[in-house]
Amino acid sequence: DAGITQSPRHKVTETGTPVTLRCHQTENHRYMYWYRQDPGHGLRLIHYSYGVKDTDKGEVSDGYSVSRSKTEDFLLTLESATSSQTSVYFCAIGGSTWGNTIYFGEGSWLTVV
């Protein structure tokens, strides 16, 4: 296991409410990623981080924000959840400083009703 913990693993929330997903790593790795997985779309990058307080947008970043105040934690926030954000969210760590590979957490299932 790559030492990645996601929380919560499952959440149901109402439209318009804020939601924060947490990714915690024990590998002291520089790069961390948030992906969402939807049927027919595979895994799409939301945001990634290349260090404390250093983040950048991925291909589906609208409606999401991230923060990384410590190396081990990468938070994904939905400021005002919408039904289109119902998805499975995966955190990953890795990148060019780890053999150009990335390793995934177990996922967070989010349902927005």
Partner 1 sequence: GQQLNQSPQSMFIQEGEDVSMNCTSSSIFNTWLWYKQDPGEGPVLLIALYKAGELTSNGRLTAQFGITRKDSFLNISASIPSDVGIYFCAGQRSGNQFYFGTGTSLTVIP
List interacting residues with partner 1 (CB under 8 A): 31, 33, 35, 40-45, 48, 50, 58-60, 90, 92, 95-96, 99-107
Q: With respect to partner 1, which residue has the nearer C-beta, 78 or 89?
A: 89
In the complex with partner 1, which residue's Cβ is closer, 60 or 75? Answer: 60
Distance CA 64, CA 46 (A): 8
Nearer to partner 1, 80 or 111 (CB): 111
Minimum CB distance to partner 1, residue 81 (Å): 22
Paired with 2 in beta bridges are none
Q: How far is 85 from 88, CA to CA, in rounded Å?
A: 9
d(CA 84, CA 105): 22
Closest contact distance (angstroms) between CB of 72 and partner 1 is: 18
Residue 78: strand pairing partners: 19, 64
